[in-house]
Amino acid sequence: MAPDSQSERIARDLRSDILNGRYQAGDRLPSERELAQKFHVQRGPVREALRKVEQLGLAEIRPGGARVCPLESASLDIVGHLLELSEPPDPEMVRMVFEVSSTLLVLAGRLGAERGSEEDIARCLESLERLAQPDLSAADEHKYLLEVSDALVSASGNLVLALAHKGIRLQFLERLKDREHLLRTSAEVRLPMVAAISQALQERDAETVTKLLSGLASQVARDAIQTLETQTKEKQLRAGESS
């Protein structure tokens, strides 16, 4: 096995143990020697694995060993790993991500309506028009919803907002299984909301855009979390029946 593969395997196991609570904040991780013996490797891949865990903010390497850090001090990059701890992903974790992503979308809409150029608004309206088609497949609806959010973020002119939006997408949307079916809502809900958002954007009515985007994002989040909760209960029932 190549050294990079060895270090990634060790880092993955350490990351999983920390996120699953086997190691708590302040705990000392196994020493380089112990990890080398456990994984049957030299110390080089172990050191690289510990550096990867430290880069995520999950541990701090000190003289005498590495200690686990509180999750609150970790980087945004752990969100995707947290979602991958279970299948389906933990509905509560998904709810927390939605709280942040929805807030970013609503802020982008308000700033876009207030600050966006005519060209920016035109791009937003074009994306909304595609999202307003009544018989969209799940894949197309997902694609156009992302187009709308990207257009609104661009129109906001806020670099930090754009970076946060990109981070959430990389760590959440692109790692969420079956996202095309999870992140959607019924045409009966979507179509009138999209039409109203388009009208409010044309009128530069930031308050109405904010309210409508909040409603749409909340509906998508509720539907997705309800689906995940149902899947989680079904999995628990199957596990109970097989035990």
Task: Give the CATH number, domain containing residue 226.
Answer: 1.20.120.530
Q: What is the mean pLDDT of residues 155-182?
A: 90
Query: pLDDT category, 47, cuts 50, 70, 90?
Result: very high
What pLDDT sits at residue 172? 86
Sorting pLDDT into bands at 50, 70 and 90, what band is 243?
low
Q: What pLDDT is attached to residue 4? A: 64
Domain end (from 30, 51, 72): 72
Identify whether residues 231 and 129 lie together within a single domain: yes
Last-in-domain residue among 72, 99, 121: 72
| Six token digits for residue 108 | 């982008």
What tokens does 57 get?
A: 């903010």
- Structure confidence at residue 170 (pLDDT): 87
Same domain? 67 vs 83: no
Q: What are the tens digits of pLDDT across the range 222-242? A: 999 999 999 999 988 888 877
Domain count within the chain? 2
Identify the band that residue 177 occupies on the pLDDT scale cut at 50, 70 and 90. Answer: confident
User: What DSSP state is assigned to residue 206?
Assistant: H
Residues with Cβ within 8 Å of residue 52, at least 6 apart in sequence: 7, 8, 11
Question: What is this structure's pTM?
Answer: 0.86
Co-location of 223 and 176 in the same domain: yes
User: Which residues constitute the domain of residue 44?
Assistant: 3-72
Whether residues 133 and 178 share a domain: the answer is yes
Do 66 and 89 fall into the same domain?
no
Same domain, 104 and 186: yes
Of all residues in the chain, the percent with pLDDT exceeding 70 is: 98
